[in-house]
Chain A
């Protein structure tokens, strides 16, 4: 069940720009805020993506919201990847019947050509510690003008630096940072 986010269930420092951390909810310690999933689901409705990719399935809280949005669209599908076989098996069970493919693998090195063409219109980068490598590996499969969201841009050094570097290199447009507990950045691939 959902619980308000707070120091009791997350030991990482929260985004100093977030006005009220306890307004956000998680199902497990370390899970993505459910409100981030709600936002990404809305984005999936507005963009009508052909393919949505998520790195870091974990418990599938965000995946299920994305998948329900894609199901409402009536076309397209979600591909999600996680390194943990146990998590993948649980997520597969939970996501049964929805337009989702759950992969067991490493997003930094996975051969995306086996599962998609250059049709990824929306991506959520939320895997391991090297988000830049996850993005770079996926980049050839991102469609022109694809929207990419990056999680954890507030409380770990890596994701924020990856986003800043991608923007500085002209790979993505100016990132929009949301003042959520763990931080969320959204940008368009140039």
Chain B
């Protein structure tokens, strides 16, 4: 869906951007981060806020293309974390508060 009429009015031509789910990061941001991962070849990528895993999926794809590296994502909501963990078995999905002490894999993982 388009972000028209849905976002920060200061944003540059918001109607040009698209999202997979309401409140998701823009698909174009995911594409940009995909390029950043391809360019910088990181061993570890950390994302806070997996949500539905749309950006996470792009990060995982880039890491696979690189041939090395691990994506870790942190999602506060345990149900969403479970969904993302199922959707992206190659990612390390953690749930809990964003306080590192509390992080753990979602139930059943």
Q: Which residues on B sit within 8 Å (CB–CB) of A39?
A: 35-36, 38-39
Interface size on B, residues (CB 8 A): 21
Contact B33–A42 (Cβ < 8 Å):
yes
Known: A46-B31, A48-B17, A73-B16. A20 touches B41 (CB 8 A): yes
Cβ of B32 within 8 Å of any chain A Cβ, yes or no, is yes
Cβ of B29 within 8 Å of any chain A Cβ, yes or no, is yes
- Complex alpha-carbon distance, A178 and B42, angstroms: 12
List which B19-51 residues lie within 8 A (CB) of chain A: 26-29, 31-36, 38-41
Number of A-B contacts (CB under 8 A): 57
The one of A35, A45, A184 that contacts B31, using a Cβ cutoff of 8 Å: A45
The one of A20, A23, A38, A178 that contacts B34, using a Cβ cutoff of 8 Å: A38
Interface size on A, residues (CB 8 A): 24
The one of A20, A38, A48, A73 that contacts B35, using a Cβ cutoff of 8 Å: A38
Q: Which residues on B sit within 8 Å (CB–CB) of A20?
A: 41
How far is the CB of B44 from the nearest CB of chain A, in Å? 13
Contact A41–B35 (Cβ < 8 Å):
yes
> Which residues does B use to contact A, with CB under 8 Å?
12-13, 16-17, 26-29, 31-36, 38-41, 66-68
> Which residues does A use to contact B, with CB under 8 Å?
19-20, 23-24, 35-36, 38-43, 45-46, 48, 69, 72-75, 178-180, 184
